[in-house]
Amino acid sequence: MSDNNAFLVRARNELRTKRSLSDATCSAFEVLPESVQAAYARAIAFAGCSDARVPIGREDIKVPADERAQAAELMLLKLSIDTGDPVWSSYVMERMEAEVVRTPGGRIEDLFRALAAVFNKYNVPLTDTVSNFVKDLVVLAFTRYRNSYESSDFTWLVEDLLLQPTPALAYLGLLALPDGYIPAAREAILAALADSPFADEAATSLTDDESK
């Protein structure tokens, strides 16, 4: 395991158990390669290492999409989304989305990819709190980062829904997928939410979409 991967494992474990990063972990971040610091600095600062910064001269570095999504995952773990009982505020949600987009090369789609990954990795239940979190995240993304949102390719989310349509992922698809992607995912979303308290919401929403 590389030092970079070892750091991510350590950060994830601390965030899942303590919801914060230790001073030792913050110090370990400072000695990682500058390309890694550029990818994760904003997420690490959000998670508790206030001194974490994108290295000077690295603001325009090309950060791979997978690394941007992994960075966003750390922010989501900070908010306990993996438990099914996330804790956030409007300010925190706004800051998280801003940090995702401000990461070099960042797009709002990175946060959706991260949320889907967290839902699947940790088998997150679709609770009322999770549904409210998803609503807040999607509404803010659409209103504040509309250009980034509308230019995103959500084919990956449709494919995830067809392969592993958990209720939480299905609810994300219900709210986040643009109209053009709905036909391919409609049946998977309805099936995944059929036995949940959100079945009527899904049926009503998707019926309305079908009639457009």
pLDDT 10s digits, 70-115: 999 999 999 999 999 999 999 999 999 999 999 988 999 999 999 9
* pLDDT, mean of residues 162-172: 96
Whether 212 has a pLDDT exceeding 70, the answer reads no
CA angle 190, 159, 161 (to 5 degrees): 30
- Residue 1: pLDDT over 60: no
Could you write out the DSSP letters of every residue in 58-106?
-TT----HHHHHHHHHHHHHHTTGGGT-----HHHHHHHHHHHHHSTT-
Q: How many helices (H) and strands (E) does the chain have?
A: 12, 0
What are the structural domain ranges in the chain? Answer: 3-144, 153-212
CA distance 154 to 84: 24
Q: How many CA atoms lie within 13 A of 140 on its CB side?
A: 21
Mutual angle of helices 199-210 and 167-176, in 10-degree steps: 40
Distance CA 160, CA 141 (A): 20
